[in-house]
Amino acid sequence: MEKLVSSRVNKQSVPESYVFPPEKRPGDVAVRTCNSIPVIDLGGSDQAEVIEQILRACEEYGFFQLVNHGVPEKSINDMMGVAMEFFEMPVEERAKLYSEDPSQVVRVKASIRYDNEDVHYWRENLRHPSHPVEKFINLWPEKPSRYRDVAATYSVEVRGVALRILELICEGLGLERDYFGDELSSTQVLSINHYPKCPDPSLTWGLQQHCDPNIITLLLQGEVSGLQVFKDGEWMGVEALPNAYVVNLGQQMQIISNGRLKSVKHRVATNSTAARTTVVAFIYPDKDSIIAPAPTLVDVKSSPLYRAFRFQEFVNTYTDISDDKETTLKHFKL
Ligand code: OGA
Ligand code: NI
């Protein structure tokens, strides 16, 4: 239980096992949040314009915020509410679901890989599959009592937005609309991060820099910012916009688009004034699906940058401990 960082929140200082060596610490430098990632209005009437904005954001930033996405504010508030309640329960409740075994379907984990890392991250996490809902709902947490109902509704709604964005990306790239409609998006994972208030945010991280290994990610960051995105050699803070999704591309999208769209590294800083809870929906390919640059995006002018592989091979190669995004991708480069 002491592995769960919320059991340590009453500490006046950051425990040593969470303190990064000086050259890897956040330090006191504030990152800029002005000039941040593009904000795109999905409710805009000019669809061609929306597609162009999405494509440009995916090429230049690998990230954007989405407003007017159609998910009711109530669903978002309910989901954020049960997510926060889950981490406000006594730590003993969460400890029952704690596991270090990634094959455990529903699990709570601490940091990134508590038993295999040199320094720990200031984070707890709950994750479980969420599509199709009927297949997994009976395995989801029973507490808070509204969790299953709320997460079921939310999972269906967030999936709708994710698939819609994928269709728009396809239109923009000139792929068939449903290119991602089947096995390339068949797995969905709901992942809830909790970063308790931290006595000294200059010493530790919420999450190390990483690229998501999936197709596309939709994140709710509530009212507390902390996410930082790498752009033109600098880290940029992502402003917390109420009810907006922070959307970013996973590495499979970079590969399928043959490098045209970017999967960009990001990280999370902690903060000393408020706990932060984020609700993340990851869309993944089926383990057996074949990932490769889309044939129509490869021609004499742009030869394929990546080889074809089964997604399981990527999963076996990806390591969430490394902070270098090329570590995994280099195995798939041509
Ligand atoms: C992630 C992630 C960011 C955040 O879970 O992959 O990047 O702000 N989360 O919680
Ligand atoms: Ni991420």
Q: Is residue 165 over pLDDT 80?
A: yes
Confidence of residue 10 (pLDDT cuts 50, 70, 90): low
Task: Over range 97-124, report the average pLDDT.
Answer: 91
**Which of 192, 207, 282 for mutating ligand 1's site (highest number of atoms within 8 Å of CB)?**
207
pTM of the model: 0.96
Q: Which of 306, 269, 204 is nearest to 31 (CA)?
A: 269
CA atoms of 332 and 135, how far apart (whole Å):
32
pLDDT tens profile 270-288: 999 999 999 999 999 999 9
Q: At what angle do helices 73-88 and 147-173 cross, to 10 degrees?
A: 130
Question: Residues near ligand 1 with C-beta < 6 Å?
Answer: 191, 193, 207, 212, 219, 221, 226-227, 266, 268, 278, 280
Is residue 325 pLDDT above 90, yes or no? no
Q: Under the phi-then-psi rule, with left for phi > 0, alpha for psi from -120 to 50, and beta for the rest, what region is 149?
A: alpha
Q: Is pLDDT of 184 > 70? A: yes
Q: In percent, how much of the chain has pLDDT > 90?
A: 83
- Quote the ligand 1 centre to 268 CA distance (angstroms): 7
CA of 269 to the centre of ligand 2 (A): 13
The structure tokens 């999972």 sit at 155
Ligand 1 atom with the smallest distance to the CA of 193 is 10
Burial class (CB in 10 A: 0-12, 13-18, 19+), 182: exposed
For residue 324, what pLDDT band results from cuts at 50, 70 and 90?
A: low
Per-residue pLDDT at 308: 97
> Of the ligands numbered here, which is closest to the C-alpha atom of 189?
1
**DSSP string covering 239-303:** P--TTPEEEEE-HHHHHHTTTSS----EEEE--SS--EEEEEEEEE--TT-EE---GGG--SSS-
- Backbone φ and ψ for 172, nearest 5 degrees, come out as -65, -35
Q: Per-residue pLDDT for 253 more than 90?
A: yes
Give the confidence band of 9 by pLDDT, cuts at 50, 70, 90.
low
Mean pLDDT of 218-229: 95
Residue located nearest, by CA, to atom 6 of ligand 1: 212
